[in-house]
Chain A
Amino acid sequence: MKNNHPTVLQAEGIEKFFYNPTKTQVLKKVSFKVKRGEFISVVGKSGCGKSTLLYILSTMDTDYLGKLHMDGELITGKPRNYLAHLRNEKIGFVFQFHYLLNEFSVLENIMIPGLKLGKLSREELEYRAMEKLRIFEMEEHALKKAYQLSGGQKQRVAIARALINDPLLIMGDEPTGNLDKKNSDIVFNKFKELAQEFKQTMLVVTHDQEFAEGTDRIIEMEDGRVIKS
């Protein structure tokens, strides 16, 4: 399905307003491109709008002005169900708070986006999920329930889940923000590894200066504007 468009994601003049309690503009004409294989971090002070930008780029937030292209396709104004399908197929998420489904085992958590996509059989997905777990040295925890893991382990599983459908792009919202130094190093190294070994395109919002410096490119934001990219 993937066509090999060199630009994975392109934002053109994205503007976003919050109306509660008063009308405030959080994003002001944000434009940039994400090329295939790039590992990008978005940095900026709290409240500069970087998370808001990420949710717009992730297609979950559709209430914005401007245009968004993904893989050469204009996705602004597409119906919600189509966007949900797009997220399932082309985007992998890693959030600050791991967000695994506690009702399921680690393995099932990783498999669910794949089952939803429905392109591979359950057996194939299980094999692939184990493969991803092996990358993160988590294979011995495969059958544990999600709530039985530590924070750092959860975050590694979350990254494995983001990878299951071989996404075009992985988005991270402060993936190390909630972890101690040791775990955040592990997670960061995994991101690095993905970028170098698998040429995975990644866009990560972070506070962590060290993390940002390790990426290919830093987009710096201030007051809803991109000041350096």
Chain B
Amino acid sequence: MKWSLIFELSRALMLARFKQTAVAAVGVMFSITMFVTLLGFMNGLNTMLDGLVLNRTPHIRFYNEIKPNPNQPVDINDEFENTWKIIRSIKPSTSRLAIYNAEKIIQNLENDPRVLGVSPKIAAQVFFNVGTIDLTGVVNGIDVNKEAQLFAFTDYVTSGNFEELNQTNTIILGKGLADRMLTGIGDVIQITTAQGNKMQVKVVGFYQSGLGDYDNANSFASINTVQKMLGEPPSYVTDIQVKLHNLDLAPSMARELEQIYNIDADDIQTVNAQFETGTNIRTLISYAVGITLLVVSGFGIYNILNMMIYEKLDTIAILKAIGFNGTDVNRIFITIAISIGVIGGGIGLIFGYFACLGIDQIPFETEALPTIKTFPVDYNPKYYFIGASFSLITTYLAGFFPARKASGVDPVDIIRGK
């Protein structure tokens, strides 16, 4: 059977009922447009919101936790081996916060093929002295270039130049902290460490993460500046932050390396489990809405094809009488359904793309999100691909039953009935 004839017949039937066909195609178009727009917009927002936390969070973080020594002297003593021991008022051991042999560990990690990059860090509790008042806060000593490269540090430096942080005795303050201290760029402020060391540093920029609490307490300085501030040698590092190629490996790698380096390790999944859940649910909802739209338009096509078959019973009967078999008739109606899907879906994808471009232009400025100027939209081709496949699948299914009915029409019944 030649497909060209099937196409010709389908086309003629569609043109004969052009308005209905157009309405069906517009239905598909509308739902595909909405599907693509919705998913693009939703995922743009998702990516942005996740980025707020996930961009800055290392996939694995190594550190020494302050905790009581699990091996208390009484356990080691054989004398008390089979006794019930009660020890009161245990204090954390005076183990140091610094990571032992940090340099070697960093080197080792950098050679690991699973690792994208490693960045050392020192977190130091300090007081910011403002006149007679001391504000508590944290100075994070960072490797400026690596932090910029791995954790999008630059995105969050809203004013000032982050590269000036490479000079010693400079600091970038959290926006909230700076506002409370009434300082501007170029001012010199005084910091007192928990150990009592005093130091004067120059403000070279402001940092705004979008999380208010974080910005009220955190500031950044180069790792050397913080070592100097604390009076520690250049090998002093309290955290090692690791970014992996594949985020999913984080939990298992954290467990593995914890053993090897004899150190505490946190992985991103455990620390930020709620973010992933949130993302998944938002994605799920947008897919559900999108697919519902498609299913509704599928019912529209189903109705229109059914109507068309009732109207065209004569045509079907005559086609069968002159030698078309059930399969041919079936193909004609499936072709009609799929054509509606292809045309409606195609236009829908284009309109969806335009709608995304439109949303991308809408201003969206909030204090909390310094880097975002317009609504974020994700143009991932995946959504267009899914939209296209779904439009074909739903229209095929919508055409399937009417086509089967049409192929089963008995020409004798129709011709006799006249």
- Provided the pairs A60-B412, A103-B13, A115-B5 are in contact, do residues A97 and B325 lie with their beta carbons within 8 angstroms? no
Q: Give chain A nearest CB distance to B209 CB in angstroms.
A: 65
Of B12, B319, B321, B326, the contact of A80 (CB 8 Å cutoff): B326
Measured between beta carbons, the chain A residues less than 8 angstroms from B1 are: 116, 118
Across the interface, name the chain B residue whose C-beta is closest to A58. B321
Task: State whether A93 touches B321 (Cβ < 8 A).
Answer: yes
- Provided the pairs A102-B16, A118-B2 are in contact, do residues A84 and B324 lie with their beta carbons within 8 angstroms? yes
Instruction: Please tell me if B273 contacts chain A, counting CB pairs below 8 Å.
Output: no
Instruction: Please tell me if B314 contacts chain A, counting CB pairs below 8 Å.
Output: yes
Measured between beta carbons, the chain A residues less than 8 angstroms from B372 are: none
Residue total for A at the interface (Cβ-Cβ under 8 A): 31
Task: State whether B314 touches A115 (Cβ < 8 A).
Answer: no
Task: State whether B325 touches A85 (Cβ < 8 A).
Answer: yes
Instruction: Please tell me if A15 contacts chain B, counting CB pairs below 8 Å.
Output: no
Using a CB-CB cutoff of 8 Å, which residues 293-323 of chain B contact chain A? 314-315, 317-323
Instruction: Please tell me if A113 contacts chain B, counting CB pairs below 8 Å.
Output: yes
Task: State whether A112 touches B12 (Cβ < 8 A).
Answer: no
Using a CB-CB cutoff of 8 Å, which residues 39-61 of chain A contact chain B? 51, 55, 58, 60-61
The distance in angstroms between the C-alpha atoms of A60 and B414, with both chains bound, is 12
The distance in angstroms between the C-alpha atoms of A173 and B417, with both chains bound, is 13
Task: State whether B415 touches A103 (Cβ < 8 A).
Answer: no
Of A55, A84, A161, the contact of B416 (CB 8 Å cutoff): A55
Across the interface, name the chain B residue whose C-beta is closest to A165. B323
Task: State whether B323 touches A89 (Cβ < 8 A).
Answer: yes
The distance in angstroms between the C-alpha atoms of A112 and B6, with both chains bound, is 11
Instruction: Please tell me if A104 contacts chain B, counting CB pairs below 8 Å.
Output: yes
Instruction: Please tell me if B418 contacts chain A, counting CB pairs below 8 Å.
Output: yes
Excluding A101-B12, A117-B323, 11 further A-B contacts by CB distance (< 8 Å) are A55-B416, A60-B410, A81-B327, A84-B328, A87-B323, A88-B323, A95-B321, A99-B415, A103-B16, A115-B8, A116-B323
13 A–B contacts from the bound complex (CB under 8 Å): A55-B412, A55-B416, A80-B326, A81-B327, A85-B325, A87-B323, A99-B415, A103-B12, A103-B16, A112-B9, A116-B324, A118-B1, A118-B5
